[in-house]
A and B are shown apart, each in its own frame.
Chain A
Amino acid sequence: MEVSCLLKLEKISKQYDNKVVLDNISLEINKGEIVSLLGQSGSGKTTLLNIILGLIKMDKGRIIFDNEDLTNVKMRDRGFNIVFQDYALFPHLNAYDNIVYGLKNKRGLVTEEELKEYINFLELKPHLNKKISELSGGQKQRVALARTLVMKPKLLLLDEPLSALDGVIKESIKERIKSIAKEFQLTTIIVTHDPEEALTLSDKILIINQGNVSQFGTPHEIIHHPKNEFVKGFILKQLQIKRQNIFHLFGEQYA
Chain B
Amino acid sequence: MLNVRAEMRVIYGIILMIFFLFLVLPLGILVVRSFEGSQGFDIYNYVNILSNSELMTAFANSIKISSITAAITTILAFLIAYAFHFTNIFKPLKSAIKVGILIPMLLPTITYGFAIMYSFGNQGLITQMLGEPLFNIYGFNGLLLGYVIYTLPSAFLLINNSFSYIDKKFMIVSTLMMDSSMRSFYNTILRPMLGTLGGAFVLSFILSFTDYGIPASLGGTYSVVATQLYQVMLGTIPNFSDGAVIAVFMLLPALFAIILLKYLERFNFHYDKFTPIDIIQNRVRDSVLGFISIGVVVGMFSIFLVMFIAPFLTNFPYNLTFTFQHFVNVFTTSGLSIVYKNSIIVAIFTTVIGIVIAYCSAILNTRTSLKGRGTFDLVSMITNTLPGMVLGLSYLLLFNESSLKGTFIIIIFCNIVHYFTTPYLMAKNSLSKMNPTWETTGGLLGDSWFKTIYRVILPNSASTVTEMFSYYFINSMVTVSGIIFLVSAQTSLVSSEIKELQHFAKFNEIFVLSLLIFCTNIVVKLICDVIQKRQFQKT
- Chain B binds chain A: yes
**Contacts of A92 on B, CB cut-off 8 Å?**
191-192, 269
B contact residues around A81 at 8 Å (CB)? 176
Interface string of A71-112 (1 = CB under 8 A from B): 000011000111010101011100000000110111000000
B178 proximity list for chain A (CB < 8 A): 76, 102, 105-106, 151
A143 to chain B, nearest CB (A): 13
| Contact of B172 with A90 in the complex, beta carbons under 8 Å | no
Is A88 a contact partner of B173 (Cβ separation < 8 A)? yes
Verify if A56 is at the interface (C-beta below 8 Å from B).
yes
Q: How far apart sit A90 and B271, CA to CA, in the bound complex (Å)?
A: 9
Q: Is the CB of B175 within 8 A of A105?
A: no
Smallest Cβ distance from A83 to chain B, in angstroms?
9
Assuming the contacts A55-B277, A56-B278, A84-B169, asked whether A90 and B187 have C-beta atoms less than 8 A apart, the reply is: yes
Interface residues of B in 146-202 (CB under 8 A from A): 167, 169-170, 172-173, 175-180, 183, 187, 191-192
Q: Determine whether B270 belongs to the interface, using a CB cutoff of 8 Å to chain A.
A: yes
CB distance from A140 to the nearest CB of B (A): 10
Residues 351-369 of B at the A interface (beta carbon under 8 Å): none
Q: Please determine whether A90 and B272 come into contact, CB atoms closer than 8 angstroms.
A: no
B433 contacts the other chain (Cβ, under 8 Å)? no
Residue of A nearest to B170 (CB): A88
Measured CA separation A56–B277 after assembly (Å): 10
The answer to whether A91 and B270 have CB atoms under 8 Å apart is yes
Contact call A75/B169, Cβ cutoff below 8 A: no
Check: B273 CB closer than 8 A to any chain A CB: yes
Contact A75/B172 with A55-B277, A88-B167 known, Cβ cut-off 8 Å: yes
A88 neighbours in B (Cβ, 8 Å): 167, 169-170, 172-173
* Cβ of B221 to closest chain A Cβ, rounded Å: 47
A101 to B187, CA, bound (A): 10
Can you list, as one digit per residue, whether each of B236-271 has a CB less than 8 Å from chain A (1) or not (0)? 000000000000000000000000000000000111
A134-B179 Cα distance, complex, nearest whole Å: 26
List which B374-418 residues lie within 8 A (CB) of chain A.
Answer: none
B381 to chain A: closest CB distance in Å?
A: 25
Contact of A105 among B183, B270, B278 (CB under 8 A): B183
A126-149 near B? 1/0 per residue, CB < 8 Å: 000000000000000000000110
Residues of chain B contacted by A101 (CB below 8 angstroms): 177
Give Cα A106 to B179, complex, Å: 9
Tell whether, in the assembled complex, residue B180 and residue A105 are in contact, meaning their CB atoms are under 8 Å apart.
Answer: yes
Q: A55-B277, A76-B175 are in contact. Are A86 and B272 (CB under 8 A)?
A: yes
Q: How far is the CA of A80 from the CA of B175 in the complex (A)?
A: 11
- Given A56-B278, A76-B178, A105-B180, residue A82 in contact with residue B172 (CB < 8 A): yes
Partner of B177 from A56, A84, A86, A105 at Cβ < 8 Å: A105
- Chain B, residue nearest A164 (CB): B272
Alpha-carbon distance between A91 and B195 when the two chains are bound, in angstroms: 14
Q: What chain A residues lie within 8 Å of B277 (beta carbons)? A: 55
B170, B172, B183, B270 pick with most chain A CB within 10 angstroms: B172
Distance between Cα atoms of A75 and B170 in the complex (Å): 14
Q: Which of chain A's residues have a CB closer than 8 A to the CB of B269?
A: 91-92
CA gap between A148 and B170 in the complex, in Å: 13
- A102 to B187 Cα, complex, angstroms: 12
Residues of B near A91 (CB, < 8 A) are 269-271
A104 to B182 alpha-carbon distance, docked (Å):
13
Query: Are A75 and B176 CB-contacts (below 8 A) given A55-B277, A84-B169, A91-B271?
Result: yes
Q: Chain A residues near B169 (CB, 8 Å)?
A: 84, 88
A231 CA to B177 CA in the complex, in Å? 38
Given A91-B269, A91-B270, also A151-B177 (CB < 8 A): yes
CA distance A81 to B177 in the complex (A): 8
Report the bound CA distance from A76 to B179 in whole Å.
Answer: 10
Distance between Cα atoms of A38 and B172 in the complex (Å):
23
Question: What residues on B are CB-neighbors of A105 within 8 Å?
Answer: 177-180, 183
Q: Are B167 and A82 in contact (CB under 8 A)?
A: no
Given contacts A56-B278, A86-B273, contact A151 B183 (CB under 8 A): no
CA distance A86 to B277 in the complex (A): 15
A102 CA to B180 CA, complexed, in Å: 11
Shortest distance between the CB of B331 and any CB in chain A (Å)? 52
Bound state CA distance, A101 and B177, in angstroms? 7
Report Cα–Cα, A8/B101, bound state, in Å: 50
A92 to B269, CA, bound (A): 8
Which residues does chain A contribute within 8 Å of B273, judged by CB atoms?
Answer: 86
Closest Cβ of chain B to A127, distance in Å, is 18
Nearest opposing residue in chain B for A157, CB measure: B176
Q: Is the CB of A102 within 8 A of B172?
A: no
Q: Which of A5-47 contact B (CB under 8 A)?
A: none
Question: What distance in Å separates the Cβ of A29 from its nearest Cβ neighbour in chain B?
Answer: 20
Q: Is the CB of B175 within 8 A of A75?
A: yes
Contact indicator B170/A90 (Cβ below 8 Å):
yes
**What's the Cα separation between A86 and B270 when bound, in Å?**
13
Map CB proximity to B onto A175-209 as digits: 1 under 8 Å, 0 otherwise.
00000000000000000000000000000000000
User: Would you give the shortest CB distance from A166 to chain B, in whole angstroms?
Assistant: 16
Q: Assuming the A-B contacts A105-B179, A105-B183, A151-B177, are A55 and B270 also in contact, with contact meaning beta carbons closer than 8 angstroms in the complex? A: no
- How far, in angstroms, from A117 to B421 measured CA to CA in the complex? 53
Which of B167, B178, B191 counts the most chain A CB atoms within 10 A? B178
Question: How many angstroms between the C-alpha atoms of A82 and B173 in the bound complex?
Answer: 8
Q: Would A151 and B176 count as touching, CB distance under 8 A?
A: yes
| Nearest-CB residue, chain A, relative to B187 | A90
Determine the residue in chain A with the shortest Cβ distance to B271: A91
Return the chain B residue nearest A93 by Cβ. B187
Q: How far is the CB of A121 from chain B (nearest CB, A)?
A: 20
B427 CB to closest chain A CB, in angstroms? 28
CB distance from A232 to the nearest CB of B (A): 34
Kindly list chain A residues whose C-beta atoms are within 8 Å of the C-beta of B176.
Answer: 75-76, 80-82, 102, 148, 151
Residues of A within 8 A of B278 (CB): 55-56
* Bound-complex Cα distance A92 to B188 (A): 11
A55's closest neighbor in chain B, by CB? Answer: B172
Bound-state Cα–Cα, A25 to B164, Å: 34
A97 to chain B, nearest CB (A): 11
Further 12 A-B residue pairs, CB within 8 A, beyond A75-B176, A104-B183? A75-B172, A76-B176, A84-B173, A90-B170, A90-B187, A101-B177, A102-B177, A105-B180, A147-B177, A148-B176, A151-B176, A151-B178
In the assembled complex, 10 residue pairs joining A and B whose CB atoms fall closer than 8 Å, in A order, are A82-B172, A82-B176, A84-B173, A86-B273, A88-B167, A88-B173, A90-B170, A102-B179, A105-B177, A148-B176
The 9 closest A-B pairs by CB, nearest first: A102-B177, A105-B178, A91-B269, A86-B272, A76-B175, A88-B169, A88-B173, A81-B176, A88-B170
